[in-house]
Amino acid sequence: MGSRLSAPGPQEKRFAAYMDGLANAAGHVDRHIPLKKYCTGLLLPGERKSVEPMAARLAPDNVRRMHQSLHHLVADAPWNDQEMLEQVRQQVLPSMEKHGPVMAWIIDDTGFPKQGKHSVGVARQYCGQLGKSDNSQAAVSLSVSTWNSSLPIAWRLYLPEVWCQDAERCRRAGVPEEIAFQTKPEIALGQIRQAMERQVPVGVVLADAGYGKGTQFRTALTELGLQYIVGIESNATVWKPGQQPLPAPPRKPGRGATPKRLQRNAGHQPVSVKQLALSLPSSAWKDIGWRPGSQHTLRSRFAAVRVRPAHRDEKRAVPYPEEWLLIEWPRKESEPAKYWLSTLSAKTSLKSLVKMAKHRWIIERDYEELKQELGLGHYEGRGWRGFHHHATLCIAAYGFLISERNRFSPSVRAGHVGLSAPEPLPNFRPRGSPRAPRTA
């Protein structure tokens, strides 16, 4: 038999109140207890956070019944992920804002290695966790961030084209009929538009070159009235500082309509951002520190110049507006390492540009904790609903951690938040756990 639970401590009481605040988003009252149990299981110590091991930790005397309850909540119950994430944001963001306002919206995606072909969205694609292309799933997220904390507020599986072209495969995985192929930047823009509709406090949009390299993505952000600082690739083209494309030529008599498109010629061409970086004088480069690291302040060399993007501007009637080109060139490297474009004010200091560009690190920390501490990649089901429900509940549990950190200590971690559970049965080994070594 498991041991009797002691009276709830202060953190357990706060956790119960937090979960009560999320309960309405789960819909039917029968889901309220499984919701609390699932998030408890994610926060308890344990290497595996799939349904069966969590059921064993939560109810060692009745694993089967707990397993059925948790599995139904995550794989079958038709509650709305967006509404749940909205409730999480409404509860967690005020605790974050006590230490400073929202200053960034961070777009990113993360991958999950998967074997087989039947789990929803699995395809051969680049997976950052593996550092190479292999069978994996990928999801796009939008996070809100202060200087000290960040919280994912939107989460969507990226469904590769090969899946969208196979209606039967999608049907078996429970993909909603209205889901059509979208690129990752298109998914991200949908998340951003929804956040604006819900009046989430606005921040500067941060994204890596997978998003920033697309002129359409950057233009859409500007049209939405959002500032950005986004990565670009070294072959992106810009006009040198002070330059822009040539105006359209005057209309020639008897030759039809007046030309409108901008012009280039052999002696007046844009350059790649790498070419521009290599041409800058040594005086342009400054040593900048942007945040404390584990042993010392993180530092590198940076330069920033005002330029006009040049991508296909010969098809435009007016030049792109000027924006910042930020370049990082570490001292020991033979060439520049990273490039960003930014629509922050022309008065923004180099140090401020660097601090904002480098703030994307915080979402990498979130993903690391969500995966290693809360089992974000541990869901073993194959369907669309379960994939999203599990991720949403991981984010909900993580939201409680963020609230506790902002209330008390940044060192609060999953497994150490004062939640209790019965002692496990001594001989129970959940599926997938390593076998005990044989005794002689």
Give yes or no for residue 333 having a pLDDT over 80: yes
Q: Which tokens go with 118? A: 């039947």
Q: Of the ranges 5-19, 200-214, 218-232, 322-336, which one carries the lowest mean pLDDT score?
A: 5-19
Contact by Cβ (8 Å): 12, 404: no
pTM over 0.85: yes
For 200-254, the pLDDT digits (tens) are 999 999 999 999 999 999 999 999 999 999 999 999 999 999 998 888 777 666 5
Contact by Cβ (8 Å): 212, 340: yes
pLDDT score recorded for residue 426: 59
Q: Give the Cα-Cα-Cα angle 29, 31, 37 (nearest 5 degrees).
A: 130
For 84-126, the pLDDT digits (tens) are 999 999 999 999 999 999 999 999 999 999 887 889 999 999 8
The 8-class DSSP code of residue 72 comes to I
Residue 398 host element (H or E)? helix 384-407
Contact by Cβ (8 Å): 199, 286: no
pLDDT score recorded for residue 106: 98
Q: List phi, psi (to 5°) of 313.
A: -75, -10
Q: Which residues contact 376 (CB under 8 A, 6 or more apart)?
A: 112, 367, 370, 390, 391, 394
> Residue 32, CB half-sphere, CA atoms under 13 Å: how many?
12
CA-based radius of gyration for the chain: 25
* Mean per-residue pLDDT of the chain: 90
Bridge partners (DSSP) listed for residue 14:
none
- Choose among 178, 141, 143, 133: nearest CA to 158: 141
Q: How far is CA 273 from CA 54, 92, 132, 341, 372, in A?
A: 50, 40, 26, 10, 37
Contact by Cβ (8 Å): 105, 356: no
Give yes or no for residue 3 having a pLDDT over 50: no
